[in-house]
Amino acid sequence: MSDSTKSGPAEVTLAAGDKNVVLPVQYPTLGAPCIDVARLPKETGCFTYDPGFTATASCKSAITYIDGDQGVLLYRGYPIEQLAEQSSFLEVAYLLMNGELPDRNEFAKFEHEVTHHTMMHERLKNFFQGFQYDAHPMAMLAATVASLSAFYHDTLDLEDPEQRRLAAIRLLAKMPTLAAAAYRYSIGWPIRFPRNNLDYVNRFLHMMFEVPSEPLEMNPVVAKALDLLFILHADHEQNASTSTVRLVGSTGANPYASVAAGITALWGPAHGGANEAVLKMLAEIGTPDKVDAAVARAKDKNDSFRLMGFGHRVYKNFDPRAKIIREMTHKVLGELGIDDPLLEVAMKLEEAALKDDYFVQRKLYPNVDFYSGIIYKALKIPTEMFTVMFAIGRTAGWVAHWLEQQVDPENKIGRPRQIYTGAATRDYVAIDRR
C-alpha cells in the first residue's frame, strides 16, 4: 500500500486549447494524487473526455480504500481479511455507516433497531402478486425497494439527519425480507414474515427456506458462510452500482429510489450479475477437459464470450475477496459434505487462465464473483438469487455512501458532458420536400 503520494506539486499546468491553465493537485490519505479539473471548462472552454470514468474520481469518500496493484481493500481503514475473520456483517454495516466499530451497547442498539424494522408493509405483499410468475428476483427487488418511498413518508425529509438515518436502517433491515419474498413468490411459496428472535443472517435463511410441514433446522456452517459473503460484498468504493446510487442521490432523490437504481446497476453481467453468469458458464463448460476451449474462446476477439468472474477495473494483481472466497469454498463444501464437479471446472479454468499470456498481459484475475456462486449453490441458494445475495450485502455500502453524500459540502448534481458527434446545425425541411 502506498502513502508516498502525500507530498508532491500543489498544482500542475496544463495546455488546453490555446490556453495554459494551472490546476490544483489533491492528495488523498492513501493512494494516487488527483488533478482537480473542475475549473478547466471555465478557464479554457475545454472538457476532459473519459468514457467509463477510467481516470476520474467523482467524489471524496472516507468509507473504503482499494489499492488495486497490491490487492488491498480497507473498510474505514480495517483490512478486509481482518473483518472477514473477526467481524460480523451487521457490525461491518455499522462501521461503514458510522465510521467506527461499535462498542457493545452501540451494537446492541443498532441490532435492535435493524431487527425492529425488518417487517414489510402488508400492502407490499400485494406487489409480489402483480408480477409475472417467472419474473427475475432482481426485477422484483428493484421495484419493491423503489416502492418503499411510497410507504415511508416519515423519512423523505432529507434535511433531517434522523430521517436519513432511519431510512438507511430501514433499507438494511428490509432488504433480506424483500429478497426472500421475491424468491418465495417466484417458486409459488407463501411469503414468510421475519422471525425477530433470529439474527440477521438466520432470519433471512428462515424467510427463504422455511416450509410449514418441516421446521427448518438452522445450520451454523451455512449462516457463517453467508455472513462472510455479505461482509465481502458490503462495499467497494465507486463501483458502478454505488456510483449510480450517488448519481441518483445527487439529484436529491430519496434514498429508496437511489438504492433501487443501485440494484438495477448491480444486475448487469459486467458487475454483480457476473456471479449468476459465472455459474451458468461453468455449467456450460461442464467438465475440466472443455476448459481450454473456453479459454480460447475468451481470447478470440471475434467471439463476444468473456471469462465471467475474471478481470477488474481496479484490481491488477489479485482481488483479495476472491482469495478469501476461494479458500472458503473448499472449507464450506468440505463442512457441508458437498462434492461439486463445478469446483473442479472453476479451479482448472483459473489455473489455465493464469498461465495464459492473454490474461497475464492484461492483468486479468478472478474477481469476487468467480467462486461465490459455487458457495451460494452449496448453501442451496438458486442461481437466479445470486445477484440478490450480492445486493443484500452491498446495501450496507449503498446506504453508507448515500449518507456520506448528503452531508458532503462539495456534493453537486452529477451531470457529465459529452462529445457531440451528430449533425451540425441545419434547417428543418418540410415532409413533402424530403
Ligand X SMILES: CC(=O)SCCNC(=O)CCNC(=O)[C@H](O)C(C)(C)COP(=O)(O)OP(=O)(O)OC[C@H]1O[C@@H](n2cnc3c(N)ncnc32)[C@H](O)[C@@H]1OP(=O)(O)O
The whole-angstrom separation of Cα 38 and Cα 112 is: 44
Shortest separation between residue 175's beta carbon and ligand OAA, angstroms: 16
Q: Which of 189, 191, 173 is nearest to 181 (CA)?
A: 191
Which residues does 22 contact at the CB level (< 8 Å), separation at least 6?
A: 11, 12, 13, 14
Is 242 in a helix, a strand, or coil?
A: helix
Options 236, 246, 348, 377; binder of ligand OAA; rule CB under 6 A: 236
CA distance 100 to 62: 11
Task: State residue 310 phi and psi, 5-degree precision.
Answer: -120, 140
Please say if 369 is a catalytic residue: yes
* CA separation, residue 194 to residues 115, 166, 179, 224, 331 (Å): 9, 19, 12, 19, 29
| Residue among 74 and 325 whose Cβ is closer to ligand X | 325
| Candidate ranges 13-21, 77-85, 108-116, 363-371; the one touching ligand X (CB under 6 A) | 363-371
Does 234 help bind ligand OAA (rule: CB under 6 A)? no
Q: Which of 388, 20, 393, 90 is nearest to 230 (CA)?
A: 393
Taking the complex as a whole, the smallest distance from the CB of residue 415 to ligand X amounts, in Å, to: 23
Contact call for residues 16 and 40 (beta carbons, < 8 A): yes
Considering CB distances under 5 to 8 angstroms, the limit depending on partner class, which of ligand OAA, ligand X, none binds residue 325? none
CA–CA separation, 329 vs 117, rounded Å? 32
Q: Indicate whether 165 belongs to the interface with ligand OAA (CB under 6 A).
A: no
345 binds ligand OAA (CB under 6 A): no
| Residue 57 neighbours by CB distance under 10 Å | 16
Residues between 269 and 328 with contacts to ligand X, criterion CB under 6 A: 270-272, 274, 298, 306-313
Q: How far apart are CA 89 and CA 74, in angstroms?
A: 15
Return the one option of ligand X, ligand OAA, none that residue 310 interacts with (CB less than 5 to 8 A, by type). ligand X
> Quick one: what does residue 400 bind among ligand OAA, ligand X, none, with the CB cut-off 5 to 8 Å set by partner type?
none
Catalytic residue among 233, 312, 319, 401: 312
Q: How far is the CB of 314 from ligand OAA (least distance, A)?
A: 6
- Exactly one of 313, 316, 323, 363 binds ligand OAA (CB under 6 A); that residue is 313
368 scored as a contact of ligand OAA (CB under 6 A): yes
Cell numbers linked to 279: 455459474
Of the residues 136, 236, 369, 401, only one is catalytic, namely 369
Segment near ligand OAA (CB under 6 A), from 5-13, 248-256, 308-316, 403-411? 308-316
Size of the site for ligand OAA (CB under 6 A): 7
Nearer Cβ to ligand X, position 177 or 387? 387
Short-list 227, 221, 223, 232, CA closest to 367 = 232
Phi and psi angles of residue 56, each rounded to the nearest 5 degrees, phi first = -125, 130
* Binding footprint of ligand OAA on the chain (CB under 6 A): 236, 239, 312-314, 367-368
**Which residues are part of the catalytic machinery?**
312, 369
